Amino acid sequence: MHDTAPPPATPGPPEDVARVVQAVLDLPGRPSPAAQAETLARSLGGCLGAGSVTIVLWPPPYSGGDPDPPVTGGGWSTYHWTGGGDATGDGDVVRVGDGGHVLADLTVRPAAAAARLRRWPELLTAVRLLLAGVQDQVAAADAGEQIGHAAAALADARLRAAGEMEQQRYRLERDLHDGAQHHMVALQMSLAMVEYELGAGHPVEAAGHLDRLRHLLTSTEEVLATTATGLLSRPLAEHGLVPALVARLDPLEAVTLDIDPRLADRRYPPEVEAAVYLACLEAVSNAHKHAPGAPVRLSLRTSARGLGFEVADTGPGFDTSGRTPLHNLAARLESVGGTLTVESNPGCGTRVAGFVAI
């Protein structure tokens, strides 16, 4: 009776393991994870005498430490090698892990070649180390891509914030120009009238202008406060366009208001009311500034088409040829779908008309 010899502890010589490792390490330059995985599949298949080897790389472990993370869709990367040996049959899957998480699943055909790999601890260790390096490179590439996305998102957020800040700066500048400037001009005119009446020896008339001056100072303070906080005039917000314009312009002696009676209780979208309100103030302010002492008439009309206004003065006028006057006012109306028309000629006064379709 003959004793059966036990199977060898190692199915192959150490030189075969070294050749598998060296094939991956000898790749030129900085090989990609895909190139390393494909080379590993080919050299491993040759070492085992397999007909085919398929390596399915698992993604790097989740930050939560799940050793068996769910993978869906394109989360797996597959590399296949087919040699000249027997590649028939179902083969067998050898799972390679490292530190509690999966690195890859190796499908080796025929099943006998997979069994040989399982009995070859030195080769399994080498394969595990090579696959760990590949997975580390995949993780680094993913991290680099995420950092790139984060940097792009940060740059985009900064750009949008800068744009929003610029819009806020422009809004504040425009509101100061359209609203507060009108009050400043009115204050200057009232002070001039006080000075004139005092110089002419009319203290009673000067006292009347001082009363109007106090009212203008109060309203100017309110305009500056509401502009700084981004709020509109309280009468405009609470009662609408007509009460707000009356509250601002009625105290001015040189301004005549001609308002369509149908507008008394009419409300429009807040952005339309704000645009028309500030446009009227700017137009009146410009009339006071460029036609001092000239009568100014503000007309406000409503129709089935929309809301229109007109500010006309009998001042010296100006030549509009080759110019685009009041571009800030035009931009404000355009923001709500409105239009602006400016008509003026030297010696014939100026007419500023705006219209917003509703």
What would the 3-class secondary structure string for 3-29 be? CCCCCCCCCCCHHHHHHHHHHHHCCCC
Contact 37, 55 (CB under 8 A): yes
Q: pLDDT above 90 covers what percent of the chain?
A: 34
14-59+70-154, what's its fold?
Beta-Lactamase (3.30.450)
Most confident of 65-69, 169-173, 228-232, 262-266: 262-266
Q: Write out the residue limits of the CATH 3.30.450 domain(s) in the chain.
A: 14-59+70-154
What pLDDT shows up at residue 70? 45
Taking residue 193's Cβ as centre, other Cβ atoms within 10 Å add up to 19
pLDDT at 83: 79
**Hey, which of 137-146, 179-188, 272-281 has the most confident mean pLDDT?**
272-281
Tokens of 211: 């009363």
Q: Which of 297, 285, 288, 315 is nearest to 258 (CA)?
A: 297
Half-sphere exposure at residue 278, Cβ-oriented, CA atoms within 13 angstroms: 32
- pLDDT of 75 over the 70 cut: no
Domain with CATH 3.30.565.10 in the chain: 252-358
Give the pLDDT score at 252. Answer: 81
What sign results for the dihedral spanned by CA atoms 109, 113, 117, 119?
positive
At 50 the three-state DSSP class reads coil
pTM value is 0.44
Q: Are 90 and 110 in contact (CB under 8 A)?
A: no
Query: Alpha-carbon distance 242 to 205, whole Å?
Result: 30
pLDDT classification of 172: cutoffs 50, 70, 90? low
pLDDT at residue number 246: 92
Mean pLDDT of 252-281: 91
Confidence at residue 73, expressed as pLDDT on a 0 to 100 scale: 37
Q: What is the mean predicted confidence (pLDDT) over 142-151?
A: 78
Select the CATH number that applies to the domain covering 252-358 from these four: 3.30.70.20, 3.40.50.300, 3.30.565.10, 3.40.710.10.
3.30.565.10
Which has more pLDDT, 309 or 278? Answer: 309
